[in-house]
């Protein structure tokens, strides 16, 4: 906070930026002073996404850290699809009551400050570029691999949003039109091959078809458990990750051809399995990349900001928009 001292009176200027991360389970809000990514206030509340009143819970969460007269802007990371140019949530499977929901104008009317919005994966990519693993790079591709696959792209020092604001939905790039069904309902997107649930689905199908594994059939099997089995030599578990890495390499070969980044940043729980996924990924990437020169000096690294990426991306967005 910038404090202007006039005689004995201290006047706080409007220098705080508020960041909001709307998740399926929690809404997080935080307030930041200029040039800092350490919040001076932070609040977390249950989003109860399927229960009416998400918007009111969001307003209450912001009010709980609000400092009257000191906030200059609010940035928000939310699940999409959404339109960052108009601030409208188009529809989001996580929050059924938000369909064509004008989130930023409602909040801006309520709080009287500019409000900026973009989807959570774009925001995580922006955060990794500004404050995390991709600091100093000009061209970055961020991929989060967890229950879905999301992406964010920085091209020539700008966040790629696109005409409709639907830019960089990297999880829904088409790999095989005859492939398995994706979380979005279409077939053969990379998310349908390499997300956590897709890896598990493949493993379960193979086991049902008679492939041997040390694991007992288990409807609640997760990727961490599958990775443990793979590390003890379970060949079906190894092949499930290997297949996911193979397809991920094909997808990323496409991303290199389009964006030609200097750094690839991987976030999300599934990317924590490490070599099980990334050795086959690298082999496949080398095999499928259009030209080997894309790989010269290309950095492939883990995300640095963990669970704070969405929040810090929202912070970066609000600061970026305030400076435009
Ligand atoms: Zn899809």
- The 10s digit of each residue's pLDDT in 14-53 is 799 999 999 988 999 999 999 999 999 999 999 888 888 9
Q: pLDDT-based confidence at 282, cuts 50/70/90?
A: very high
CA–CA dist 19, 257 (Å, integer)? 34
**Residues 6 or more apart in contact with residue 40 via CB below 8 angstroms:** 1, 16, 31, 32, 33
User: For residue 177, how far is its CA from the centre of ligand 1 (angstroms)?
Assistant: 11
Taking alpha carbons only, the member of 87, 101, 94 closest to residue 55 is 101
Cis? peptide before 222, omega within 30° of 0:
no
Question: pLDDT at position 38, please?
Answer: 97
Q: pLDDT-based confidence at 1, cuts 50/70/90?
A: very low
Q: How far is CA 203 from CA 183, 229, 271, 302, in A?
A: 17, 12, 17, 25
User: For residue 146, how far is its CA from the centre of ligand 1 (angstroms)?
Assistant: 14
Q: % helix / strand / coil in the chain, to the nearest 5?
A: 40, 25, 35
Tokens of 17: 């930026």
User: For residue 202, how far is its CA from the centre of ligand 1 (angstroms)?
Assistant: 17
User: For residue 224, how far is its CA from the centre of ligand 1 (angstroms)?
Assistant: 23
> For domain 136-303, is the CATH number 3.30.420.40?
yes
User: For residue 185, how far is its CA from the centre of ligand 1 (angstroms)?
Assistant: 6
Helical H segments across 159-218, by residue range: 191-194, 196-208
User: For residue 291, how far is its CA from the centre of ligand 1 (angstroms)?
Assistant: 27
Query: How many CA within 13 A on the CB side of residue 246?
Result: 7
Q: What is the pLDDT of residues 294-314, one digit of tens each?
A: 999 999 999 999 999 999 999
User: For residue 172, how far is its CA from the centre of ligand 1 (angstroms)?
Assistant: 4
User: For residue 285, how far is its CA from the centre of ligand 1 (angstroms)?
Assistant: 21
User: For residue 191, how far is its CA from the centre of ligand 1 (angstroms)?
Assistant: 6
User: For residue 190, how far is its CA from the centre of ligand 1 (angstroms)?
Assistant: 7
Name the CA dihedral angle for 304, 310, 313, 314, rounded to a multiple of 10 degrees.
-160
Question: pLDDT at position 154, please?
Answer: 98
User: For residue 90, how far is its CA from the centre of ligand 1 (angstroms)?
Assistant: 16
Summarize the confidence of residues 73-87 as an average pLDDT: 96
At the topology level, CATH places domain 3-125+308-322 in Nucleotidyltransferase; domain 5 (3.30.420)
User: For residue 68, how far is its CA from the centre of ligand 1 (angstroms)?
Assistant: 42
Question: pLDDT at position 323, please?
Answer: 86
User: For residue 247, how far is its CA from the centre of ligand 1 (angstroms)?
Assistant: 14
Domain boundaries, the chain: 3-125+308-322, 136-303
User: For residue 169, how far is its CA from the centre of ligand 1 (angstroms)?
Assistant: 9
Q: What is the pLDDT of residues 246-255, one digit of tens each?
A: 999 999 999 9
Q: Please tell me the pTM assigned to this model.
A: 0.93
CA–CA dist 323, 40 (Å, integer)? 22
User: For residue 69, how far is its CA from the centre of ligand 1 (angstroms)?
Assistant: 43
CA–CA dist 96, 114 (Å, integer)? 25
User: For residue 188, how far is its CA from the centre of ligand 1 (angstroms)?
Assistant: 7
Taking alpha carbons only, the member of 90, 182, 181, 152 closest to residue 316 is 152
User: For residue 272, how far is its CA from the centre of ligand 1 (angstroms)?
Assistant: 22
- Residue 37 phi/psi, 5-degree rounding, is -115, 15
Asked whether the domain spanning 136-303 has the same topology as the one spanning 3-125+308-322, the reply is: yes
User: For residue 260, how far is its CA from the centre of ligand 1 (angstroms)?
Assistant: 23
Q: Label residue 165 left, alpha or beta by phi (over 0 means left) and psi (-120 to 50 means alpha).
A: left
CA–CA dist 160, 163 (Å, integer)? 10
> Counting Cβ atoms within 10 Å, is residue 208 exposed (0-12), middle (13-18) or buried (19+)?
exposed
């Amino acid at each position: 906070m910038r404090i202007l001292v006039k005689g004995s009176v201290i006047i706080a200027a409007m220098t705080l930026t508020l960041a909001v991360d709307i998740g399926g389970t929690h809404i997080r809000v935080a307030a930041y002073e200029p040039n800092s990514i350490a919040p001076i206030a932070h609040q977390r509340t249950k989003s109860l996404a399927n229960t009416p009143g998400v918007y009111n819970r969001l307003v209450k969460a912001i009010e709980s850290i609000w400092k009257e007269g000191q906030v200059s802007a609010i940035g928000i990371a939310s699940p999409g699809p959404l339109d960052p140019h108009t601030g409208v949530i188009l529809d989001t499977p996580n929050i059924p009551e938000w369909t064509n929901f004008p989130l930023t104008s409602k909040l801006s009317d309520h709080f009287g400050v500019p409000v900026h919005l973009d989807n959570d994966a774009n925001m995580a990519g922006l955060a990794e570029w500004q404050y995390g693993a991709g600091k100093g790079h000009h061209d970055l591709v961020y991929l989060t691999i967890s229950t879905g696959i999301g992406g964010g792209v920085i091209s020539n020092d700008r966040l790629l949003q696109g005409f409709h604001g639907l830019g960089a939905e990297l999880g829904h790039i088409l790999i095989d039109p005859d492939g398995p069904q994706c979380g979005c309902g279409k077939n053969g997107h990379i998310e349908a091959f390499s997300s956590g649930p897709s890896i598990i689905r493949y493993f379960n199908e193979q086991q049902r078809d008679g492939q041997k594994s040390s694991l007992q059939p288990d409807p609640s099997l997760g990727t961490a458990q599958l990775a443990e089995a793979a590390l003890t030599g379970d060949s079906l578990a190894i092949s499930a990750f290997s297949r996911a890495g193979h397809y991920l390499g094909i997808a990323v070969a496409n991303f290199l051809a389009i964006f030609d980044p200097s750094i690839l940043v991987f976030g999300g729980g599934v990317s924590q399995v490490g070599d099980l996924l990334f050795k086959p990924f690298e082999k496949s990437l080398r095999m499928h990349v259009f030209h080997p020169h894309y790989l010269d000096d290309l950095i492939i690294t883990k995300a640095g900001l963990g669970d704070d990426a969405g929040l810090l991306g929202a912070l970066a967005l609000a600061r970026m928009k305030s400076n435009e």
